[in-house]
Amino acid sequence: MAVAPMDTIAPVPRSQHRTQAGGGRSRINGHLLRLPFYLLSLTMIAPFYWLIITVFKPPAELARTPPSFVPQSPTFDNFYDPDWSAERINPGHLQGIFQRFQVDFGFWRFLFNSLFITTTITVASLLICSLAAYVIAKHDIKGRRTIFLMIIASMMVPWQTTLIPNYVIMRNLGWLDSYAAYIVPALAKAFVLFFLVQFLQSLPNELIQAARVDGAGEWRIWWKIVLPLLRPALAAMSIFIVLAEWNNFLWPLIIVQSDQMANLPVALARLNSYFGGPDHQGAIMAGGLLASVPTIVFFLIFQKYFTRGIALSGLKG
């Protein structure tokens, strides 16, 4: 094989050396700038990791001191232990999360309650807020600005101040310990309405005017034109609503009087109060893991809409 003479090999320009060196330094500087975010992510990942390893530890390992950071004898007994029996004591075997509740369908009942309440509130509140936002943003009604300012002002009122009035209303209506007490007070979402109004103001009025010229009514315009255009904003707001309602604890704790109507946070809190020992934490953590999976999946599915909705809402001030 012929070798090229030394004088025919072009030297690498110094500017290219500087560019490569500068690119390496910029990557290092980028990682250093992101270091605080890496550390912050660890503070969020560490508790979730501890939850996962606790779920798969047997009771004897849960009570061990010092604790282990990797399950030495992984088991699924914290979900369901086939060797546990109410008639006899079997050392080292306790009730799993699916064996600890005496209500109909056990843990599945609380999971259904949370799914039904969260889904109903999310869908209904988004529809109501989108309709109200359409009226405020695209209709020249008298007192529109005043109404909008009052809605914004309501966001400054601490939600804790409404607990007692709402409880009295629910009691007088006979709605305590019912789905209505969960759903009806949660339908008014001032922040969602404010967000949707800002989003609609960035959309051209010509679309609405063209539909009216074609003879479409206001309900049809809202359903066929406004709602499809609001899809990114609705997806973004649905994440906030789902997370808030799925993790809602204080209001359900006040209105729920029976185990049958408890949602997941209330059920897990009661379980923790009944069984507080370290060897029972496996079943409690198993319930926490099952409660967190739906929200994680929901966020992973809708995160692109969340980013798009936040970005598009700022196109117009």
Q: Over the stretch 243-294, which tens digit does the pLDDT of each residue have?
A: 899 999 999 999 998 889 999 999 999 888 777 677 788 888 999 999 999 9
Min mean pLDDT across 79-93, 107-121, 165-179, 288-302 is at 79-93
Strand, coil or helix: what is 185? helix
Q: What is the DSSP letter of 57?
A: S
CA dist., res. 253 & res. 117, Å (int): 14
- pLDDT higher than threshold 90 for residue 37: no
pLDDT at 176: 94
Q: Is it true that domain 107-265+284-312 has CATH number 3.40.50.920?
A: no
Find the mean pLDDT for residues 140-147: 88
CB 298 within 8 A of CB 225: no
**Which residues have CB under 8 Å from 167's CB, separation 6+?**
254, 255
Whole-number mean pLDDT of the chain?
Answer: 85
Length of the chain as a residue count: 317
Q: What is the pLDDT of residues 49-62, one digit of tens each?
A: 999 999 999 888 88
For residues 248 and 280, give the distance between their C-alpha atoms in angstroms, rounded to a whole number. Answer: 24
- Mean pLDDT is lowest, of 1-10, 96-105, 305-314, for 1-10
Q: Which of 48-52, 169-173, 213-217, 299-303 tops mean pLDDT?
A: 169-173
Would you kindly state where each structural domain of the chain is located, as residue ranges? 107-265+284-312
Q: Is the dihedral of CA 50, 51, 55, 60 positive or negative?
A: positive
Residue 7's identity, in one-letter code, is D
What confidence score (pLDDT) does residue 315 get? 46
C-alpha distance from residue 250 to each of 120, 231, 263, 269, 302 (Å): 19, 31, 11, 11, 27
Q: In this predicted structure, what is the pLDDT of residue 246?
A: 95
Listed in sequence order, the residues at least 6 apart from 54 whose beta carbon sits closer than 8 Å to its beta carbon are: 62, 281, 282, 285
Question: Mean of the pLDDT values across residues 22-34?
Answer: 71
pLDDT for 189 beyond 50: yes
